[in-house]
Amino acid sequence: MQAVQLLVSFDPELYGIIFLSIRVSTAAVLISFIIGVPIGVLIAMNRFPGKVLLVNVVNTFMGVPPVVIGLTVYVLLSNQMGLFGDLRLLFTPTAMLIAQVLLAAPIITGLTIVAVQGVDKHIRHTAVSLGATPGQLAWTIVREARYGIGASVIVAFGRLMAEVGAVMMVGGNIRFQTRVMTTAIALHKGMGEFQNALALGMILLLISFIINSGVDFLRRGRGLES
Amino acid sequence: MKKGAERKKILFLATVLLMIVFTASMVFSEGAPVNIGDTAKTTTALNFREAAGMTGKIAKVLVRNTEVTVLNKVGGWYQVKLSDGKVGYVYAKYLMLAQAAAKAENQPAVQPAAEPVFKAEPTMVLATTTSTRDTGLLDVLMPAFDKKYGVTTKVVSVGTGEAIEMGKRGDADVILVHARKSEDEFVASGFGVNRKDVMYNFFFLVGPKDDPVGVADLKTVQEAMAKVASSKAKFVSRGDQSGTHKKELAIWSTYGIKPQGEAWYMESGQGMGDTLMMAGEMGAYTLVDSGTWFAFQDKVNLKVVLQGDPILFNPYGVIAVNPEKYPNIHHNAANAFIYFITSDEGQKMIADYKKNGQQLFMPDAK
């Protein structure tokens, strides 16, 4: 009930928090998509020495605890000790974006590898025998693997929206600046305001549901079309 | 005739008044007078000022039992020299001859009070502030308590706000917090019983080492923070309703400053250690309790820019959760803990707890 009340109250602070969550996570997923899909396709379609090792590394990074990523980014961006401290990026949305890309890119890469490898070998052989160039071949296979790749986007987005450790560390949960849904929930819990924390949790669930439904709708739409 | 009676009455009143004043002054002077050249000790936490009088800038606050050498007497003030050679003024009332102080301390207790017996429950939940955990004090206190009373204590370390909420919900048996106003409300609303003073420390205003705003030249923390606000220097706030946050809000409100939402004002919503590191990273000012500061001062690129303002006094209290509200509360263990932490043994452990050679908390249980 309070979740609804909060939403219809049109509190600018709340909407700022929601908007920042969506903005950072969406941008991170898009960037990860641009990085992860080509790499995943390349790894899946080619044979080269060390492929198994590389796939294992990617799979490991899919499961890295966000706090470890957060810590790494913090150390790199820190003004006191970091390589990139001069950029003064720590405690900005950009720092959160960097951490989230590091979280999401391995997920999209790893799941793309699985999806591409799952494409029926006959399709590949047919395309090659029909004289497809490597580019056309890749495009055909990505089209066939689109469900799996779409799923990777949903998984990655879900993980980013739900993530609290890394954004807390590198974003700093600064009010009006880097506070997102998850860190706001942690804060309200920390102040003993369980009502607010639960309400925010409900809103977070609702948003995830809407976005996943949207992505799913897009996927289905294209599926029917072809 | 009538006039004479009135005169007598006035004379009588004057005599009574004089007697009161004399008695009072005798009580305060603690017997032995302090003379120039004597070594004396402070009898309480005492402001060390740059000039005699209440308007003299406070250079620092001397903890109880600090030894000073008396150089001069100016009205109700002594000019004193500290062990580090600094010279300043303290209010005369709160100095005591070192020998007299030693005597008072060495006097054996007339009757060593028998320790009360507590039928402590096997477990206890202590909700306390992040500062007591971050400084490591509880790592010393709790094992001693657990061993003595056969209790396994679960320490939940949160902000003062949440610790009090935990007490209100019956999720904690005893709380150790620092926000006097909220503590009194907690007791007044019937959730807390047996509140006791435990110890105190101070808040410091810390900032970048070059102090870009020039806060160090100001007398009071209100002026200093007003200057931070007016020059839009970065300031990191806890922003989590903790004791430190409440203190900070109270200071802003003296000049009616509302920093929330300003670009230079950052509410971290995190614990003291994280907030302090954030301020260090960003070259910002922040308010910090002395315990956390001494534990972190080597790790951050900051320095104390203002201290000693009486407003920055930070007392800790311990409160048991009322068993009438929650019958299943482990009240005996809670009372045992309150007894322990305010007993000579617990108080001595607090006084002896040092980090980087600095005493972090001053015991003040009565």
Mean of the per-residue pLDDT values of chain A: 88
| Residue B302 at interface with chain A, using a CB cutoff of 8 Å | no
Specify the pLDDT at position B21.
56
Cα torsion B71, B74, B75, B78: sign: negative
Residue A91: is its pLDDT beyond 50?
Answer: yes
- A80 and B266 within 8 Å at the Cβ level: the answer is no
Residue B106: is its pLDDT beyond 70?
Answer: no
Distance from A177 to chain B by nearest Cα, in Å? 8
Residue B46: is its pLDDT beyond 90?
Answer: no
Nearest to A183 among B165, B263, B269 (CB): B269
A178-182, B104-108, B334-338: lowest mean pLDDT where? B104-108
- A91 and B267 within 8 Å at the Cβ level: the answer is no
Nearest to A172 among B166, B268, B300 (CB): B268
Specify the pLDDT at position A80.
74
Residues B109-119: tens digit of each pLDDT: 445 556 788 88
Q: What is the pTM of this model?
A: 0.65
Domain architecture of chain A: domains with CATH: 2-219 (1.10.3720.10)
What percent helix, strand, coil does chain B show, rounded to 5?
A: 40, 25, 35
Most confident segment among A32-41, A217-226, B123-132: A32-41
| Residue numbers in B near A173 (CB within 8 A) | 268-270
Nearest to B268 among A78, A80, A174 (CB): A174
| Residue numbers in B near A168 (CB within 8 A) | 270
Question: Which CATH class name applies to B202-313?
Answer: alpha beta
Distance from CA of residue A79 to its chain's centroid?
Answer: 27
The β-bridge relationship of strands B87-91 and B95-97 is: unpaired
Query: Matching CATH topology for B123-198+315-363 and B202-313?
Result: yes
Residue A113: is its pLDDT beyond 60?
Answer: yes
Nearest to A187 among B240, B261, B281 (CB): B240
Residue B40: is its pLDDT beyond 90?
Answer: no
Q: Does the domain formed by B123-198+315-363 have CATH 3.40.630.10?
A: no
Question: Which CATH class name applies to B32-104?
Answer: mainly beta
Instruction: Give mean pLDDT, residues A97-109.
Output: 96
Instruction: Give mean pLDDT, residues B61-87.
Output: 82
Half-sphere CA count of B202, side-chain side, radius 13 A: 22
Residue B54: is its pLDDT beyond 90?
Answer: no
Q: Please report the beta strands in chain B, taking only residues with DSSP state E, as ranges in sequence order.
A: 39-42, 46-49, 58-62, 67-74, 77-81, 87-91, 95-97, 123-129, 152-158, 174-177, 192-208, 235-237, 265-267, 286-289, 302-306, 313-321, 354-355, 358-359, 362-363
Distance from CA of residue B320 to its chain's centroid?
Answer: 20
| Residue numbers in B near A12 (CB within 8 A) | none
- A190 and B268 within 8 Å at the Cβ level: the answer is no
> In this structure, how many other beta carbons lie within 10 angstroms of the beta carbon of residue A133?
10
Nearest to B162 among A168, A174, A191 (CB): A191
Distance from A76 to chain B by nearest Cα, in Å? 12
Residues A20-62: tens digit of each pLDDT: 999 999 999 999 999 999 999 999 988 899 999 999 999 999 9
- A91 and B281 within 8 Å at the Cβ level: the answer is yes
Specify the pLDDT at position B13.
65
| Residue numbers in B near A174 (CB within 8 A) | 266-269
Mean of the per-residue pLDDT values of chain B: 84
Confidence of residue B363 (pLDDT cuts 50, 70, 90): very high
| Residue B185 at interface with chain A, using a CB cutoff of 8 Å | no
Specify the pLDDT at position B26.
47
Residue B25: is its pLDDT beyond 60?
Answer: no
What value does the CA radius of gyration of chain A take, rounded to a whole number of Å? 20
Specify the pLDDT at position B260.
92
- A187 and B158 within 8 Å at the Cβ level: the answer is no
Residue B66: is its pLDDT beyond 90?
Answer: no
Query: Chain A residue closest to B130 (CA)?
Result: A190
Query: Chain B residue closest to A188 (CA)?
Result: B240
User: Is residue B118 within 8 Å of B332, Cβ to Cβ?
Assistant: yes
Specify the pLDDT at position A189.
80
| Residue B278 at interface with chain A, using a CB cutoff of 8 Å | yes
In sequence order, which ranges of chain A are alpha helices (DSSP H)? 2-8, 12-45, 51-62, 66-77, 93-117, 121-129, 134-144, 146-162, 165-171, 181-190, 194-225
Instruction: Give mean pLDDT, residues A147-161.
Output: 90
Q: Which two tokens stand for residue B216?
A: 């160090």
Instruction: Give mean pLDDT, residues A184-193.
Output: 81
DSSP structural state of residue A101? H
Instruction: Please name the residues in contact with B195: beta carbons below 8 A apart, sequence gap of 6 or more.
Output: B183, B187, B317, B318, B319
The residue of B244, B267, B297, B301 whose CB has the most chain A CBs within 10 angstroms, and thus the best one to mutate to test that interface, is: B267
The phi, psi pair for B61, rounded to 5°, reads -110, 125
Instruction: Give mean pLDDT, residues B195-204.
Output: 93
| Residue B239 at interface with chain A, using a CB cutoff of 8 Å | yes
Instruction: Give mean pLDDT, residues B293-299.
Output: 86
Residues B209-244: tens digit of each pLDDT: 999 999 988 989 999 999 999 999 999 999 988 889
- B161 and A174 within 8 Å at the Cβ level: the answer is no
Distance (Å, rounded) from C-alpha B341 to C-alpha B333? 12
Residues B299-349: tens digit of each pLDDT: 899 999 998 888 898 899 999 999 998 988 999 999 999 999 999 999 999
Residue A221: is its pLDDT beyond 70?
Answer: no
Confidence of residue A82 (pLDDT cuts 50, 70, 90): confident
Distance from A172 to chain B by nearest Cα, in Å? 6
For chain B, domain boundaries: 32-104, 123-198+315-363, 202-313
Instruction: Give mean pLDDT, residues B164-193.
Output: 92
First to last CA, chain B: 54
Q: What is the residue-wise DSSP string for A119-136?
A: S-HHHHHHHHHTT--HHH
Nearest to B166 among A168, A172, A192 (CB): A192
> In this structure, how many other beta carbons lie within 10 angstroms of the beta carbon of residue A217?
10
Distance from A128 to chain B by nearest Cα, in Å? 56
Query: Chain A residue closest to B160 (CA)?
Result: A191
Specify the pLDDT at position B332.
93
Cα torsion B307, B312, B318, B320: sign: negative
- A172 and B164 within 8 Å at the Cβ level: the answer is no
What is the amino acid identity at position A54? L
Nearest to B240 among A80, A177, A191 (CB): A191
Specify the pLDDT at position B1.
47
| Residue B172 at interface with chain A, using a CB cutoff of 8 Å | no
Confidence of residue B50 (pLDDT cuts 50, 70, 90): confident
CA torsion, points A150, A152, A155, A160, in degrees to nearest 10? -110
